[in-house]
Amino acid sequence: MPHPDPHTAASSDTEWQRTFVACWMQLGPETKEAIVGLLPDDWSFAGKRVLDFGSGPGRTLKEFVPEAQTGEFWGIDIDAASVDQLRATLCPPMHAARCGYSPPLDFEPGSFDLVWAISVFTHLTDNSIPWLLELHRVLKPGGFLIANYMGRWISELVAGEPWDDTRIGMNVFRHTHPWSEGGPLVLISDWWLREHWGRAFEVVDIAPRIHNSSWALLRKRDVSLTADDVARPGDDRREYQAVRHNLARAQREIEGAEARLAAAQRDAAEQLAAVRRSYEDSQSWRLTRPLREITRRVRARRTAARDSSDDVT
């Protein structure tokens, strides 16, 4: 039985809106194809527990409704409205829960055979590694994580510069962008992922350029690590080049944000001055000028009298 997609409720009165809805709808089947294509040839969803981390309202999960007849599928998201939509349209057979900004999830260790996180680590910054380790925790021994990340095919769009993996490790762009406008964007190099994520997971495969990002198939290692363990720089000198580049970019973004704030304050001051000039030039302002002058003189006399009384006292 087909399930309604929440985005089809959006208006399609313009060609742009119709194109957007069509493209958004197409990503669900394409994402399923990419996930299934990365899994081992002998993989079966029957009897498996699967987690879509960052599921949204279920764009990808709705493609797995047939598999959910024999497997257990969960969708997790931070957005309450998306989780409500998922519950209303896909549960059952799916299951849904909401997560917070930071770990943990409300699952026991070793709860899932497979986790995927699509368009998640492309935006996570300070909580990226904690969430990576949380997904490691909830996976069963030898369980798989599929995660995509942005890099070489989107560098000029995101960073405004040609791709150069000697200066990109895990670099954050648009630090101050609000989530309503897409939030921060994160670029990751293959070498950095293998060095850092590879401490918690075996990197089984990296599929290039699916939806202009790289998709990694990772198998859980039997290790216990902290976020500091994963973040610790390796011996590759690109680690330090990437940090320097990240700091330089962050400084430019801060300077740009400060410039935009100063410009906005100037615009607000000019608008206020224009409103005041318009009001002061109005007929009512001119007609009440004598009354304002009388009021000013009365206040001045009262102040003088009060000061004189204080001096006598």
**Mean pLDDT in residue range 215-228:** 96
pTM: 0.74
Fold of the 6-237 domain: Rossmann fold (3.40.50)
For residue 252, count CB atoms less than 10 angstroms from its CB and return exposed for 0-12, middle for 13-18, buried for 19 or more.
Answer: exposed
Determine the Cα–Cα distance for residues 83 and 101; give it in Å rounded to an integer.
15
166-179 pLDDT tens trace: 888 888 887 666 66
Q: Give the model confidence (pLDDT) of 50-107 as tens digits.
A: 999 999 999 999 999 999 999 999 999 999 999 999 999 999 999 999 999 999 999 9
Asked whether the beta carbons of 155 and 229 are under 8 A apart, the reply is no
Domain ranges (residues) in the chain? 6-237, 283-313
CA-nearest of 72, 74, 88 to 117 is 74
Q: Residues 257-294: pLDDT tens digits?
A: 566 667 777 877 778 777 777 766 676 666 677 777 77
Q: What pLDDT is recorded for position 126?
A: 87
- The first and second tokens of residue 32, run together, are 């399923």
Instruction: Check whether 4 has a pLDDT greater than 50.
Output: no
